[in-house]
Structure 1
Amino acid sequence: MTERHVIESRDEYLDAVRTIAAGSGPIAVDAERASGYRYSQRAYLIQLYRRGAGLFLFDPPAIGRFDELNEAIAPAEWVLHAASQDLACLREVGLDPVRIFDTELAARLLGFPRVGLGTVVEELLGIHLAKEHSAADWSTRPLPTTWLEYAALDVELLVDVRDKLADMLDEGGKRTIAAEEFEATLARQPKLQRQDPWRRLSGLNTVRGARNLAIARELWLERDAFARESDIAPGRLVPDSSLVAAVRAEPRSRAALAAVREFKGRASRSELPRWWAAIERGLTTDDLPPIRGTSGETMPPARSWAERNPDADARLKAARTSIAAISEDLAIPIENLLTPELLRRVAWNPPEPVTAETIGDALESLSARPWQIEATAQAIASAFVESSQLASEAPKPES
């Protein structure tokens, strides 16, 4: 096994920048985080490969900013697998591509049944990649040799994979589609944080009453603040199940909280005063949360449409059938052809009059790509019109 070297000093990093700049062609980039171990989503290892330059493994916490590297490679095409997962942590250190090729997204558009990197590499290159370190704690120092080998292989083969996928996209007439999807991935804005993030607490549905919800909220907020401060994943401090158990036990003293057997976790006892203070705030606050959260969503779940808006339900079901047929014909997964959320929004509140053009305008306002509009607008319009005609022709119930 080749010994992999991690670049940790600024001088060595700047030498690498010059070598990479002298290389040619696309640049394979990947990043490893410590999700599930750390609170932050920062990169703890960045891998880069370019033909004529070779492989480079960088230690972002030691190096800091990568502005010089970004300037040297920004004009080139960057090759990433599942780019949306890595762009945020790359941008955090100054690496911001202007042109990408996403090998996972390309594989989806080509109809691959499985699009994990290991599967795609094996399918296209006949090489088996072991993926046993994908969920490792990459903040570990020093990084084990086997982990570095795994990380290196993630980019060493990526340009070859890109070339084969590009040929297949050309052969399938999907190169323009892929280019639009790659651009959309680059332009996608981070999701806004929901209004009440504490409502994501797993098991919260078993908590009854506004007062207990207030206690759950205060426990979640305290754990989140402590996790951010210590850069440890919240669930590794105290699991969700333990916070919910503490709420449901309704302790009335710190000793009673300590006696709750289900209240577990590495920080459950060492930080007991912290958790009890949170419970006390929940017990005494006048700011009681509503039983149900407000997500700002005005469109109800599709499962309730048949009762609440039968016309919209008929439109949605008719359009789904049409979209499924197009998906099969193009060999593109439905969620890539047109996300279910966009279809639901147009079905719930269709334009007037319903035509391919007005449907296309509505989809464009919802950020659908030109190729998606071209592929689906006419079919959606026809499905909506047909469902409306069927509804008008249906016999009316006798009064």
Structure 2
Amino acid sequence: MSEDTPTELPAPEVPDTPPAPPLRLREPLPEVIATPEALADYVAKVAAGSGPVGLDAERASGYRYSQRAYLVQVRREGAGTALIDPIALPDLSSLDEAIGDAEWILHAATQDLVCLAEVGLRPRALFDTEHAGRLLNLPRVGLATLVESLLGSSLAKEHSAVDWSTRPLPEPWLEYAALDVEVLVELRDAMHERLVAAGKREWAAEEFEALLSFTGPAPRTDPWRRTSGIHRARGRRALGVVRDLWLARDEIARERDTTPSRVLPDAAILEIAQTLPTDAQTMRGLKSLQRRGPRRFLARWLQVVDDVLQLDDADLPSPSPRADGPPPPRTWTEKNPAAAERLGAVREVMTALATEHDLPSENLLTPHLVRELAWSPPSPIDAPTVAETLLAHGARRWQVSIVAEPLADALRSPATA
């Protein structure tokens, strides 16, 4: 080897980072509260406790049709942790009264607010740790990640997708559920400090205030159009089969309180729509109908196909869904070149503003609202009219104060006129 030949140096040693210690319960795992007497006892402790209240709820998504809570976890200083069975105790309004005006601490509040309201729990003030993480532009905002990065403890999530409608609930599941509220107060305090340091605490307060009126996502137009693989259904009659199978499946799933995919998977809906079987033997031979669940309602699926085959063309769905807003941006250049130019300018401004304020762009303004503004800007285009439009579409005042003037400039620039 010559002196000029480079030699390969050994890779530098990277010190092993010791794993974060697992989060442990501070008190013994409590018994599940399933009687009025046990609930009354805990309610009294909450009323005598102090400070904010950590809450969580476990549903049975993937197993049940409903999104009801099958376990409610509560923790407050002076009261400890409670695991409450809302199936045995469907009215928790006494607990709601005991909490009163105290701040709730939730992680991903929109996932739990609706099912908690169903059992009589409604916040007067709240702090959402997931939303706080987004405002802080943290790379990952899952509860386990936040607990580890901010509090130095690892939080296992291996039971997050189990069937919480199971009774009795296994002890490892209950310990998992109790740990989900164990450090919510500490996590809230750590994130509060970061929000204050970043000058974003008032932004968070406005976001949290808006969550108090959250009653669930808006109903989707033609939800059956979200069937996986629907693009493979060629023709309006095939789409009609997809639509009516989806509706029949949804009805059965609701009646049986089971997740729709267990009644009939999307793959089976598409295979039936593509082949249009008209007899039981043919349908029974379909690959996606070999499992017991889909075959249980074979006669129903056959009836759906038969009914759709007899529909007039006027009663079949259109290939194009009804538009609830602007069309997909990929079509703008052809349909509305000026709007396409405006969208490009607006997106550029949004990216710059998000970088400047250390925010994910979608948390500065939702992509849907950005598209609405570019497609149909107000008249005249100036900061006040842009601000009014944004507020009317649900933007927060802190967002409007940042984006209204730069967006007005982008919308009325000569290049995008």
* Partner SS for 2:167: coil
3-state SS of the aligned residue for 1:213? helix
On the 8 A contact 2:113/2:214 being kept in 1, the answer is: no
The aligned residue for residue 415 of structure 2 is 390
CA distance in 1, matches of 2:347, 2:122: 37
Classify the secondary structure of the residue corresponding to 1:115: coil
Separation in structure 2 between the aligned mates of residue 325 and residue 64 of structure 1, nearest angstrom: 49
Distance in 1, matches of 2:135 and 2:262, equals 37
- Cα distance in 2 between the residues matched to 1:165 and 1:261: 51
- Residue matched to 1:330: 357
User: Which range is displaced more, 100-109 or 302-311?
Assistant: 302-311
Q: Shift of residue 262 of structure 1?
A: 2.5
Q: CA deviation at 1:356?
A: 1.4
Deviation at 1:130, TM superposition (A): 0.5
Q: Distance in 2 between matches of 1:293 and 1:159?
A: 48
Moved more, 343-352 or 296-305: 296-305
SS state at 2:69 partner: coil
Residue 320 of structure 1 aligns with an amino acid whose one-letter code is R
**1:391 Cα deviation (Å)?**
5.1
- What letter is aligned with 1:253? D
Q: TM-score, normalised by structure 1?
A: 0.94
Residue by residue, what CA displacement relative to the aligned partner does 1:337-390 show, whole Å, maximum 9, x if unpaired?
11111111111111222211121111111111110000111111122232xx13
Hey, what's the Cα distance between the residues in 1 that align with 2:316 and 2:212? 37
Alignment of 1:306 onto 2:326: no
Alignment deviations for residues 319-343 of structure 1 (CA, whole Å, 9 cap, x no partner) = 2111111111111111111111111
What code does the residue aligned with 2:388 have?
D
Alignment of 1:86-235 (within 5 A): 86-235=112-261
* Count of aligned pairs: 390
1:254 is aligned, of 280, 283, 288, to: 280
Relative to structure 1, is the Cα distance of residues 297 and 211 closer, same or farther in structure 2, using a 3 angstrom cutoff? same
1:316 to 340, 343, 352: 343
Give the AA of the match of 1:244: L
Residues 278 and 176 (structure 1), Cα distance of their counterparts in 2 relative to 1, 3 Å cut? same
Q: Give the Cα–Cα distance (whole angstroms) in 2 for the partners of residues 5 and 59 of structure 1.
A: 10
Residue pair 2:235, 2:319 contacting (<8 A) in 1 also: no
Alignment match, 1:240:
266
TM-score, length-scaled by structure 2: 0.90
Whole-Å separation in 1 of the counterparts to 2:124 and 2:386: 31
C-alpha deviations, 1:161-199, integer Å up to 9, x for none? 001111111111111100011112222343332332222
1:19 aligns with 2:49: no
Q: Supply the distance in 1 between the matched residues of 2:318 and 2:204 (Cα, whole angstroms).
A: 44
Query: Is the 8 Å Cα contact of residues 246 and 263 (structure 1) preserved in structure 2?
Result: no
Say if 2:278 and 2:302, in contact at 8 Å, map to a contact too.
Answer: no
- Could you say what secondary structure the match of 1:165 adopts? helix
Tell me if structure 2 keeps the 8 A contact 1:357–1:377: yes
Distance 1:23 1:302 in 2: 53
Which of residues 63, 84, 93 is equivalent to 1:37? 63
The equivalent residue for 2:366 is 339
Which residue of 256, 261, 275 corresponds with 2:301?
275
Given the superposition, is the C-alpha separation of residues 144 and 191 from structure 1 closer, same or farther in structure 2, using an over 3 Å criterion? same
CA, structure 1 residues 122+138, in 2 after alignment: closer, same or farther (shift >3 Å)?
same
Is the Cα contact below 8 Å between 2:50 and 2:77 reproduced in 1? yes
Cα distance, 1:223–1:265 mapped onto 2, change above 3 Å = farther
Change in 2 beyond 3 A, CA 1:42/1:210: same
Partner of 2:10: none
The 1:191/1:100 distance shift into structure 2, 3 A limit, reads same
The ranges of structure 1 where at least 4 consecutive aligned residues each deviate by more than 6 angstroms after the TM superposition are none
In structure 2, what is the Cα distance between the partners aligned to 1:292 and 1:246? 18
Question: Over aligned residues, Cα RMSD in angstroms?
Answer: 1.6
Distance across 1 between alignment mates of 2:141 and 2:416: 41
What is the alpha-carbon distance in structure 1 between the residues aligned to residue 320 and residue 30 of structure 2? 50
Asked if structure 2 preserves the Cα contact closer than 8 Å seen for 1:238 and 1:265, the reply is no
User: What pairs with 1:64-75 in structure 2 (closer than 5 Å)?
Assistant: 64-75=90-101
Partner SS state of residue 61, structure 1 = coil
Task: In structure 1, list runs of 5 or more residues that go unmatched.
Answer: 393-399
- Other-structure match for 1:369: 396
Matches of 2:292 and 2:113, distance apart in 1:
32
Instruction: For structure 2, list consecutive stretches of 5 or more residues without a partner in the other structure.
Output: 1-24
| 2:386 maps to which of 355, 359, 371 | 359
Superposition deviation, residue 251 in structure 1: 1.2
Q: Is contact 1:181–1:369 with CA below 8 Å preserved after alignment?
A: yes
**Which whole-Å CA distance do the structure 2 matches of 1:326 and 1:300 have between them?**
25
Residues 72-105 of structure 1 deviation map (CA, whole Å, 9 limit, x = unaligned): 1131100000101111111111111121100111
Q: CA deviation at 1:298?
A: 4.3
Question: Quick check: 2:387–2:400 contact (8 Å CA) kept in 1?
Answer: yes
Structure-2 change in CA distance of 1:261 and 1:347 (3 Å): closer
1:75–1:99 contact (8 Å) kept in structure 2: yes
Identity rate, percent: 48
Amino acid at match of 2:140: R
